[in-house]
Each structure stands twice: as C-alpha cells, then as structure tokens.
Amino acid sequence: MRPLDHLPARIAIAFVFFSATSVGVRSQVVLKLNSLHFNAYVPIKITVINRESRAISVCVSQQWIPKPNDDVGVATTPLLMQVQSNRKWLSVLNGVDVGPPLRYPLTIEPRKSQEFQLQTKGNGKARFVLYYWIGSDINACDGPSGKKTVMSPTFTLRAHGQQ
C-alpha cells in the first residue's frame, strides 16, 4: 500500500478531531439581541443566555439612558456598551455619577436566560459587553478573580430622524 492511500482517512480523522475541539471553544454564555439595527430611543432587548452546566454571576448596576427631548432615565443592567470609532472600540460612560449607584450580584442558573432592556441614541456601530463569573456564590460586584467576557454581535444605531 502506498503512503497516500491512507490520506483520505487521516484527513477525516483530523476533521473530526478539530470539529470536536472547536465546539468546546465556543462561548457557553451568549448575548442575543432582538435586532441588529436600531433607531435612537427604540428599546434594545438583550438576552443573556447561560449555556453553562453551572450558574453564572453578573454585577447589575443602574445606568443613565437617554430619552427624547434631552431627558434621561435609568436602566438596571449588567451590560457595558461600546461604540466603534476609527476602528477601535470605546466604552461609553455609564453608571450613575451622582450618589452611590445601586449595584447587586445576580445569578443566572444553568441553561436559563435573563433579559435586559436599554435604549440609547447615537449613530454608527456598537456592541454590548458582559463580564461574568462562574458560580452562584460569587459577589460579582466586588470584582473577584476569574472574570470572563462575552460580547454581543455588532449592531448599528441610527440617529433620530436619519434614514
């Protein structure tokens, strides 16, 4: 038998091995958006899906959100929003800047999800970032070690009145 006769079998074995190992690399926590295109002030629903076999913990805090007519509101969320500027991702300032913000840890059980809702204004590309920790007894608001990060798909924002 010539050395190349076993090549198709070796390729098939390598494909199965790499396919199996790449599945484990996929994030077990996912951020799902209700759309990938949003107009200013339209609610954005973000679902945190925990596909882990263990609970995860996040730190929920109050954040200012813009409202029409230069008004502001407050949303309670564990998410950080980033916008793209000159090919770089910049974190948008968030959190309550006057007085102590309301912050508390939240546990999302295995194979469960939690929905959050925000609205914003602006124009361009954006994404949400979630920091989380494995385990349900972790005080995520104290910044323990072992932080993990997951990002939403990139979405577009369109300023109010633009087409």
Look-up: residue for tokens 């926590």?
29
pLDDT for res 137: 73
pTM of the model: 0.75
pLDDT for res 112: 98
Could you tell me the two tokens for 103? 């912050």
- The closest alpha carbon to 77, from 117, 105, 113, belongs to 117
Rounded CA-CA distance 130/151 in Å is 6
pLDDT for res 3: 56
Q: Where are the domains of the chain?
A: 27-158
pLDDT for res 16: 47
pLDDT for res 55: 96
Topology at the third CATH level for domain 27-158 = Immunoglobulin-like (2.60.40)
pLDDT for res 18: 45
Q: Which residues of the chain form beta strands (DSSP E)?
A: 29-33, 37-39, 44-50, 56-67, 71-77, 79-85, 88-91, 103-108, 113-118, 124-134, 148-151, 155-158
pLDDT by 10s per residue, the chain, length 163? 555 555 555 554 544 444 444 444 466 999 999 999 999 888 899 999 999 999 999 998 877 666 666 666 777 889 988 999 999 999 885 554 444 568 889 999 999 999 998 888 888 999 999 999 999 877 888 888 999 999 999 999 988 655 5
Rounded CA-CA distance 134/130 in Å is 13
